[in-house]
Chains A and B, each alone.
Chain A
Amino acid sequence: MTMAASQETLVDEGYNFAYLDEQTKRMIRRALLKAIAIPGYQVPFASREMPMPYGWGTGGVQVTAAILSPDDRLKVIDQGSDDTTNAVSIRKFFQKTADVATTERTEDATIIQTRHRIPETPLSEDQILVYQVPIPEPLRFLEPRETETRQMHAMSDYGVMHVKLYEDIARHGRIVTSYDYPVLVNGRYVTAPSPTPKFDNPKMDSCPALQLFGAGREKRIYAIPPHTTVKSLDFEDHPFEVQRWDQACALCGAEHAFLDEVLVNDQGERMFVCSDSDFCAQRRAAQNGDTSELEARDDR
């Protein structure tokens, strides 16, 4: 998280290191420090226009730009995958504007920017996970007024959050909220984990890596510091549960990973595969006793 050491390494002249100017990065770092000091609290920040549309991760990109140093190794995932449009374009963006090393291997990355997933490989203390957040306010759909939601946060007035879960059980017999499942951070702030599946919620609890959340359009930053308790809200008689699949990944055979359903032909045949592409590829390589393919994929 050091300042950009030098700007001579720029590939593309005319841009400052990591696109944003230094004053903007300082502003974002100040917001980040405050967010880390108050786990789960949404800190307003002066979000900038980025050269990509809102909803494509402008918040996450600004956070990554603010913490990026030339020595970092960046991994970008979208829905768990390294090779979908959003991931590829953001990775290219930072290669172009910061000339930073990139990787697809979770354990090699120092910064992982993510949309919708937390990698299956456990994270370490040297890593930072940056989330792209569309709607940072967990109470938004229950209380449309921003003035009121701020009051509710200030006074830990969170009863209405359970009304939402109550409605789920009353209508469907169980809590059907499956993504953006509200969590209580450090026993104080109810926080939106961004639209990650609730499968990933347990990974947020006491995670050794620093977790930063950036919402560009809504102009909010929040954070979960390392080793912070993150509790998913639930009822005593309807405890929190994660999704389960009745089959393993069709490619690597993983049984406890988050699986995507993929249609494979026009006859409606489908298969379930890991959504974390790096996790799946590493498992397959290990099964084949062959790592050359993975090494070839690195440092592209």
Chain B
Amino acid sequence: MTAENQALLRVRDLGKSYGGIIGCAEVTFDLWPGEVLAVVGESGSGKTTLLRLLHGQLTPDRGDVCFRDRSGDMVDVHKMSEPARRLLTRTDWAFVHQNPRDGLRMAVSAGGNVGERLMAIGARHYGQIRENALDWLARTEIDAARIDDLPATFSGGMQQRLQIARNLVTQPRLAFMDEPTGGLDVSVQARLLDLLRGLVQELGLAAVIVTHDLAVARMISHRMVVMQRGRVVESGLTDQVLDDPQHAYSQLLVSSVLRP
């Protein structure tokens, strides 16, 4: 089995409209294991719709999303049973929200947040769950002494790192991230990106990262797609698209970036 040579996620002709308004249309791409794909575009260009379609939170009007599971079979994300999809979302997949409050249980301690996925898939040994939680707090640079503190007492950057720890504890193979650095100031952003890049390399994690920040895309992604009004207008290697944008909209996007 040469899983490395096969796409992890295969998206074909994906479309979704909200009444007469196009959410996204004719999106087709493959994602390989260990690859990071950035989806860029302005507000309202369909980035988040696309991400939610990929993750199965929204049902597409047309097209399909297939994921290669651990046994090597391609499964259609939108045709599998709800329990199977839920299992997938908490084992092989990660979803990082822009606002950590959406992805964390704010009334549950940091350790409980990290341990939830483990308990959901049947871990019943308190000591081991806690050990795992400590390990992941360390990996995401959160002080072990904060394990029993509520996320509400954490800074924004720490909350975001906790959300990442909580998602990666089951060793997923694919992460969906919606503006993971959105609400953070630049120095915290840089640290988080550094951390993410390290984790992605270390775990061989594939990721789809939605962002409007081209610098984030440049730093973390291998390939990128540029979206405008729900359609992909350009795709290619990140450096190639950013250094030599072909489509008029990509050119506008690249030239709009302020340089201090």
Contacts and interface: CB of A to CB of B under 8 A. Distances in A.
Interface of A: 151, 155-160, 162-163, 166-167, 169-171, 234-238
B109 A159 contact: no
B125 A237 contact: yes
Contact of A160 (B109, B120, B127, B148): B120
Contacts of A234: 124
Interface stretch (B22-30, B110-118, B178-186, B194-202): B110-118
B167 to A, nearest CB: 14
A166 B86 contact: no
Contacts, number: 55
A237 B127 contact: yes
A52 to B, nearest CB: 34
B20 interface: no
B130 to A, nearest CB: 8
B126 interface: yes
Contacts of B86: 155, 157
Given A235-B125, A237-B126, A170 B148 contact: yes
Q: Interface size class for chain B? A: 20 to 34
B83 interface: yes
Interface string B95-124: 000000000010011011001110111001
Contacts of A151: 82
B40 interface: no
Nearest to A158: B120
A156 B105 CA distance: 20
A140 B109 CA distance: 19
A163 B116 contact: yes
A235 B126 CA distance: 6
Given A163-B112, A166-B112, A167-B108, A236 B125 contact: yes
B129 interface: yes
B249 to A, nearest CB: 39
Given A155-B83, A159-B121, A163-B105, A169 B126 contact: yes
Contacts of A170: 109, 111-112, 130, 147-148
A163 B148 contact: no
29 contacts: A151-B82, A157-B83, A157-B86, A158-B120, A159-B120, A160-B120, A162-B119, A162-B124, A163-B108, A163-B112, A166-B112, A166-B115, A166-B126, A167-B108, A167-B112, A170-B109, A170-B111, A170-B112, A170-B130, A170-B147, A171-B109, A171-B148, A235-B124, A236-B124, A236-B126, A237-B125, A237-B126, A237-B127, A238-B126
